[in-house]
Amino acid sequence: MPREPGQYDHNLGQRHRHARRIPESNRWHAPGERRRQTCRGLCRGRALQGVNSTTDISIASQGSITFDALSSSLALQTGGGHGATFTAGTADAGDITFTNPANILSTGGGGLSFQATNATGGALSLGSLSASSFSATATGNIDITSVTATGAITLTSSTGSVSSTGTLQTASQLTLNAAAGITVFTSAVTLEATNSLSGDIAVTQTAPPSQLLTITKRGRRRGEQRTRRSDIDCRR
């Protein structure tokens, strides 16, 4: 029997003492369509917000995870020394997607991590995120609205590109790894950017708040002995 959002809330709120998976969605799927997990019941029902600050959250899906459009910000209680992790594609290709990229997801001082690393495919399309530290790892493209973190931010795409429409802001290290180009807006103290295959690196250090930026590594195209001027564009 299909479960209602309230039942998801009950399961997570009463039994989420350790990391656990979202129950399989009971949505109808067209023949041949890849089955996906959905955070609809969880996010709208505020179940994730009910998990206490000292409990790590780990949500995993065999396929994709979708955050349906939220009517307000999703603020997790996850506190310092703990984290919330969302993992797609544990058995098949899977993406993590925010239906509304303007939606906000934050923690109460804990870390935040998104993973979509199945070898057959996995991309991240994320909204505005806030945590003590942040990491996103994907097989394909990583597209983020914005990230605000007091600690390190790390974005890694093994075959695709990394991009942001808003600012990646941290008082610590910002590390960007891609294969097909990097285009981001930043407010960071230290930047390390590597691009391995094709495309350029374009970094715009925004203000305010203005921070001194130190570049510790520069990307280069495979096979090149030197990095051409047009390959890296750092602006202030």
Q: Is the pLDDT assigned to residue 191 strictly greater than 70? A: yes
Q: What is the pLDDT of residues 123-168, one digit of tens each?
A: 999 999 999 999 999 999 999 999 999 999 999 999 999 999 999 9
Q: What is the pLDDT of residues 195-224, one digit of tens each?
A: 999 999 999 988 665 556 666 655 444 434
Q: What is the pLDDT of residues 41-79, one digit of tens each?
A: 344 436 788 899 999 999 999 999 999 888 888 999 999
pLDDT at 210: 57
The whole-chain average pLDDT of the chain stands at 78
Mean pLDDT of 28-53: 54
Q: What's the chain look like in SS3?
A: CCCCHHHHHHHHHHHCCCCCCCCCCCCCCCCCCCCCEECHHHHHHCCHHHCCCCCCEEEECCCCEEECCCCCCEECCCCCCCEEEEEECCCCCCCEEECCCCCEEECCCCEEEEEECCCCCCCEEEEEEEECCEEEEECCCEEEEEEEECCCEEEEECCCCEEEEEEEEECCEEEEEECCCEEEEEECCEEEEEECCCCCEEEEECCCCCCCCEEEECCCCCCCCCCCHHHEEEEC
pLDDT at 113: 98
Q: Is the pLDDT assigned to residue 27 strictly greater than 60? A: no
Q: What residue ranges do the domains of the chain occupy?
A: 1-24+33-121, 151-236
